[in-house]
Amino acid sequence: MKRVSLVLAFLLTLSLACSLTSLSEGTGEDGAPSTPSPQSEKRCGDGVCDGPENPQNCPADCTAPVEEAQPSATATGPEPPSGEPQEEIPPLYFFYVIHTHAQGDWLPYEGPPLLDLNPTTADNMLLAITGIQEVLDRYGVKGTWEVVFGTAKGLCSYQGPNHIFRQLEDAGHEVAVHAHRTEDIDDAYQNLVNDCGIIPVTTSGFIPEVERAGPAGAQQAMIDAIQTSLALGLTVGTENLSPGGGKNPFAELCDNQLGVANDMWEQTGNLMFPWRPDYINGNICADNPAGQMVLVDHVSIEWKLLPGEGVPQALSDEHFERLRLMFDAALEYMETRRPDRVAAWGFVTHITEYGSGGKAQHPPDPASLAALDRFLAYVAEKAAEGRVVFATASEIAEAVYPGVVP
């Protein structure tokens, strides 16, 4: 019995490694100061130009000549006065990040040297990818497929020139870098370039490295991952830095303030306004217009953890129902607040979470993919009403900060 629990705990840890590591920790919010001064609420829209706000990222508070690089995708026709609600409900940018790996970054190879490829594992991974893609393409949803070094090399050499990642790009999806250690970012990038012929611009997977660094080293670990990525031309990062639930150390380090005016996370599960973390001055919480990296935040994997359960063997309607509540909250935010900045909401899964098993031992379960289908059908209804725009992570970053994608 005890052994079973240990094994479960181990599997849980492995599965959570990508985006959520310390569920058992408290939120760290309890003692946080929550009494802002009457003037400044430390957010864009409070009428005070302070903190990371400046005329570019918060014209509502910072009156100054407003010329270039306004973060606005809805700037067509005469604009309403800054800071006041728009008449039209602005659309929500919707994205789906797929961590394209199984438990073992060398898979579909048998081990880290990336020498012996297991064709059954490769086939199951490919079936999972094409199974998910089929659902996305049915609704025009664009995936951001984040690939680790072993999967990139394995699947591209297994399939040859017309490999799956080429097909995904041709279908309008994005193929991006994923690494669980900062030192693996380069390998994932090089394998995508050299084995797949793909030049990625988006990077991901920083949180495990940040967790290993502990709270005292978290800022520096994040800065190292950002600078390693930028050196390769990777200027967009998808992470889950939303506060709440002790998901990462930044809630506490940043006093729940990341970027500008990201005050919606309790309802929506993510920070809807992408920002340029100030790695230059050692503070990723703050926005710095000089920063070259844009962080696009997605919801944490908590929606997959039903009360009393561990990581699901296969995602079902019950899981997606929890996700839908956060998505609805994001739509409601757009309706009530009508921000004049690009706002995005996205979620993440692994390719293996549709019944393939942690090591891609099985093909995906059609029933599980059908649950994804039903959720995306709901999202597509909102897109048909003009409330949602489907985009990849780099398309969102480019919409917010034109020119950020090389």
Helix (H, G, I), strand (E, B) or coil at 393: helix
CB neighbours of residue 394 within 10 Å: 24
Q: How far is the CB of 144 from Zn ion (least distance, A)?
A: 13
Q: How far is the CB of 21 from Zn ion (least distance, A)?
A: 12
Residue ranges in 61-120 that form contacts with Zn ion under rule CB under 5 A: 99
Options 14-22, 50-58, 289-297, 310-318: segment touching Zn ion (CB under 5 A): 14-22
- When binding is defined by CB under 5 A, the residue of 15, 16, 18, 105 that contacts Zn ion is 18
The rounded distance, in Å, linking the Cα atoms of 108 and 131 is 17
The answer to whether 305 contacts Zn ion (rule: CB under 5 A) is no
303 with 317: CB under 8 angstroms? no
The answer to whether 319 contacts Zn ion (rule: CB under 5 A) is no
Nearest position to Zn ion, beta carbon: 18
Helix (H, G, I), strand (E, B) or coil at 96: strand
177 with 204: CB under 8 angstroms? yes
Options 16-24, 46-54, 70-78, 124-132: segment touching Zn ion (CB under 5 A): 16-24
Q: How far is the CB of 259 from Zn ion (least distance, A)?
A: 23
The rounded distance, in Å, linking the Cα atoms of 249 and 216 is 9
Q: How far is the CB of 109 from Zn ion (least distance, A)?
A: 17
C-beta of 46 vs 353, nearer to Zn ion: 353
The rounded distance, in Å, linking the Cα atoms of 138 and 10 is 36
C-beta of 99 vs 337, nearer to Zn ion: 99
C-beta of 184 vs 278, nearer to Zn ion: 184
The answer to whether 223 contacts Zn ion (rule: CB under 5 A) is no
In a 13 Å sphere around the CA of 95, the CA atoms on its Cβ side amount to 29
In a 13 Å sphere around the CA of 149, the CA atoms on its Cβ side amount to 18
Which residues, in sequence order, are bridge partners of residue 109?
Answer: 117
Q: How far is the CB of 349 from Zn ion (least distance, A)?
A: 10
C-beta of 18 vs 294, nearer to Zn ion: 18
C-beta of 136 vs 188, nearer to Zn ion: 188
C-beta of 15 vs 70, nearer to Zn ion: 15
Phi, psi of 322 (to 5 degrees): -65, -40
Smallest Cα–Cα separation from 293: which of 370, 383, 401? 401
C-beta of 18 vs 396, nearer to Zn ion: 18
Q: How far is the CB of 205 from Zn ion (least distance, A)?
A: 5
How distant, in Å, are the alpha carbons of 263, 347, 377, 405 from that of 143? 26, 10, 15, 17
- Note the residues at the interface with Zn ion (CB under 5 A): 18, 99
